[in-house]
């Protein structure tokens, strides 16, 4: 079965090859799952391993904050990756750019698994870690936009949000297997073995996953939407320049639409892992394996809600659906401190399930919503840039700010921080236009 072509193309007379729907689903999902796996094994290791391996020992809180600072470096790199890979994605094509971004991410991840620690090379250890993390961010900066365009530009007209949710599923799948890998290693190895070499295994083995992803993607045909632009020679010379000079408003709106999503996710994952495993009174003092297991179970709700949100966005529209979901985030932000702060495993589990389920709802429609804001000639750059620029404002600083707020003012201030970010997203959604019926061939 072939992906449908928009009415603007004459399918019988146009020889442009199209991808089967099954190939679109697999290629967009598998690639992002691998990329997010690579990205999240760093997030987990940044909390439970890197403070002890790559930084001088002393104050545990300081070491954790230093580790979280290297975690944030990737988010600075991501908009740069968006501009770099977006340039080639909008000029040369979606397919070749997706392959290059996956390679960049994969090589950087494997290098992290091979780096010597602070005890061996001193200050060069965190510097090299930061450099490899920058490479991860660069690769992911080009990955998401290409995967989203692969799905939406090959989707049937009335199912773009559903198809756009397939690359979004890569996030919960990657997170599930990242945490699952660390959990398995923790069960199989002693703490000493895990800290000495076991943590390196998922980073090095990611090379195998990257090869699988490359195999899937090299068999793709170019997006019919981009093929039409290329045939008519409508590519712009400098996509990022055209984006910022002619499409600044949708770029800003798209950036703030993503803000609540990023803030919520990294509070639910990186911060909750840090807070949950930190000894009392600064945390809950849960065992590392306990928190990993709880997060793995809760992220299933994330995965279930992603396609549901895509279906809702196709039926009721992106704007209306996202406004309701953002109001749900604000409500959750005001009640979660009492759930997480209770220290009761049942309430903590409820906190994780509720938060990550809402995360699935807000993340699902983004694969269609952001690309639909931009015309074809700058769509790769525009969707990627707004998505990843928001990562600086939301994801990169969220674990750090949440840690500082909780330590200084208590957990309720973390909830207020999340609610404030959600309010900014709400304002952006109110200012946005509905894109459900927008043509991707404009």
Tell whether 73 is covered by a domain: yes
* CA 263 – CA 396 distance, rounded (Å): 9
**Residue 391, domain extent:** 21-431
* CA 140 – CA 143 distance, rounded (Å): 5
Tell whether 6 is covered by a domain: no
pTM: 0.82
Tell whether 257 is covered by a domain: yes
Tell whether 226 is covered by a domain: yes
- How does pLDDT run across 385-400, given as a tens digit for each residue? 999 899 888 877 888 8
Tell whether 108 is covered by a domain: yes
Whether pLDDT at 417 is above 90: yes
Instruction: Check which CATH number belongs to the domain holding 238 and give it.
Output: 1.20.1250.20
Whether pLDDT at 430 is above 50: yes
Mean pLDDT over the full length of the chain: 86
Closest among 358, 243, 345 to 291, alpha carbons compared: 345
* CA 309 – CA 92 distance, rounded (Å): 32
- How does pLDDT run across 341-361, given as a tens digit for each residue? 888 999 999 999 999 999 999
Tell whether 2 is covered by a domain: no
Per-residue pLDDT band for 18 (boundaries 50, 70, 90) equals low
More confident residue, 303 or 98: 303
Tell whether 59 is covered by a domain: yes
Positive or negative: CA dihedral 387, 393, 398, 400: positive
- How does pLDDT run across 214-271, given as a tens digit for each residue? 887 777 777 777 777 778 777 888 899 999 999 999 999 999 999 999 999 989 988 8
pLDDT score for 326: 98
Q: Which of 8-17, 290-299, 415-424, 432-441 has the lowest mean pLDDT?
A: 8-17
Tell whether 9 is covered by a domain: no
Tokens of 428: 């952006």
């Amino acid at each position: 079965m072939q992906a449908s072509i928009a009415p603007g193309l004459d399918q019988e007379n146009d020889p442009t090859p199209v991808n089967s729907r099954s190939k679109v689903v697999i290629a967009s999902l598998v690639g992002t799952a691998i990329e997010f796996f690579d990205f999240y094994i760093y997030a987990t290791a940044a909390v439970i391993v890197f403070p002890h391996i790559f930084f001088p020992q002393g104050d545990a809180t300081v070491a954790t904050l230093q580790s979280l600072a290297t975690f944030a470096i990737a988010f600075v790199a991501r908009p740069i990756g968006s501009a770099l890979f977006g340039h080639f994605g909008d000029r040369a094509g979606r397919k070749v750019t997706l392959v290059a971004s996956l390679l960049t991410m994969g090589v950087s991840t494997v290098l992290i698994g091979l780096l010597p620690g602070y005890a061996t090379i001193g200050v060069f250890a965190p510097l090299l870690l930061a450099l490899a993390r920058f490479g991860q961010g660069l690769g992911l900066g080009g990955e998401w936009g290409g995967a989203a365009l692969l799905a939406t530009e090959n989707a049937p007209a009335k199912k773009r949000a559903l198809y756009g949710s397939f690359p979004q599923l890569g996030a919960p799948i990657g997170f599930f297997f990242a945490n699952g890998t660390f959990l398995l290693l923790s069960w199989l190895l002693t703490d000493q073995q895990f800290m000495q070499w076991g943590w390196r295994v998922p980073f090095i083995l990611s090379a195998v996953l990257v090869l699988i992803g490359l195999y899937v993607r090299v068999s793709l045909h170019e997006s019919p939407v981009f093929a039409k632009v290329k045939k008519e020679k409508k590519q712009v010379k400098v996509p990022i320049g055209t984006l910022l000079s002619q499409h600044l408003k949708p770029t800003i709106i798209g950036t703030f639409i993503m803000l609540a999503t990023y803030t919520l996710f990294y509070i639910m994952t990186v911060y909750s892992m840090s807070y949950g495993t930190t000894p009392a009174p600064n945390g809950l003092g849960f065992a590392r394996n306990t928190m990993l297991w709880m997060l793995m179970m809760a992220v299933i709700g994330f995965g279930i809600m992603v396609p549901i949100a895509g279906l809702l966005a196709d039926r009721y529209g992106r704007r209306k659906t996202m406004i309701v979901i953002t109001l749900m985030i604000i409500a959750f932000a005001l009640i979660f401190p009492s759930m997480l702060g209770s220290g009761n495993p049942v309430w903590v589990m409820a906190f994780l399930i509720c938060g990550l389920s809402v995360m699935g709802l807000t993340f699902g429609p983004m694969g269609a919503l952001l690309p639909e804001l931009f015309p074809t000639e700058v769509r790769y750059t525009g969707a990627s840039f707004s998505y990843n620029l928001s990562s600086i404002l939301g994801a990169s600083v969220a674990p750090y700010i949440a840690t500082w707020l909780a330590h200084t003012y208590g957990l309720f201030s973390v909830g207020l921080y999340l609610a404030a970010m959600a309010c900014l997203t709400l304002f952006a959604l109110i200012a946005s236009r509905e894109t459900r019926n927008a043509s991707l061939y404009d």
